Amino acid sequence: MEISATLVKELREKTGAGMMDCKRALCETNGSFEKAIEYLRKKGISLAEKKAGRATKEGGISAYIHGEGKVGVLVEINCETDFVARTEQFKQFVKDIAMQIAAANPQWVSAEDVSPEIMAKEKEIAIAQVKGSNKPIQVLEKIAEGKLNKFYDDHCLLRQSFIKDPAKTVDQLTKETIALLGENISIRRFTRYVLGEGLSK
């Protein structure tokens, strides 16, 4: 079928994917805009997974100040080459992640960063919250597991909903950016400062 240049341009603006990839996605999905977005996301995820093991020694540290100096974020994001680190797309990604940290206050980059002690404590809390109901033990364990997953979704950066597009997680955004730039990218570490935090009132 004939795919209009306008539709290709719209898809490129929405996803950041290349023109040829956008056209291919629209052809593969019979011109369906929403299905083409999904197609590109899936393609991005598979490309990102192929690049996941590659070393990331370049990148940048970015600072973001929010709310007239009330909240500050420092974040280090790595990529494979200095060339990609200097691109506008990479810089925008770093800025978006810094804004995400300022707004959503994650405690860790990923669920793997949560210490076994904290995981055990959260599991204990989740189980205690569902105890006392007459549901079978398998159901209670499922509910507790759901509560634990919710804890990770709230507190781990990669599992949070992206503030600019809640339909995707930060992990999905990262994989899409990897596919777009053709290099592995990793969010290494961050620090979030809140004015007056820790001071006695």
- Whole-number average pLDDT of the chain: 84
Q: Which of 20-34, 93-107, 164-178 has the lowest mean pLDDT?
A: 20-34
Question: pLDDT tens-digit profile of 134-156?
Answer: 777 777 778 878 888 899 999 99
Class of domain 58-110+156-194: alpha beta
Give the per-residue pLDDT at 15: 65
Contact 77, 188 (CB under 8 A): yes
From CA 185, how far away is CA 95, in angstroms rounded? 14
CATH topology of domain 5-51: Helicase, Ruva Protein; domain 3 (1.10.8)
- Average pLDDT, integer, range 97-126: 91
Q: Where are the domains of the chain?
A: 5-51, 58-110+156-194, 115-154
pLDDT of residue 135: 74
Asked if residue 55 has pLDDT above 70, the reply is no
Of residues 42 and 178, which shows the higher confidence score? 178
pLDDT tens digit sequence for 171-197? 999 988 888 888 889 999 999 999 887
> Cβ(157)–Cβ(106) under 8 Å?
yes
Range 56-59 contact pairs with CB under 8 angstroms and sequence separation of 24 or more: 56/80, 56/183, 56/184, 56/185, 56/186, 56/188, 58/82, 58/84, 58/85, 59/85, 59/90, 59/94, 59/185, 59/188
Residue closest to 76 by CA, chosen among 95, 91, 54, 60: 60
Judge whether residue 132 has pLDDT over 80: no
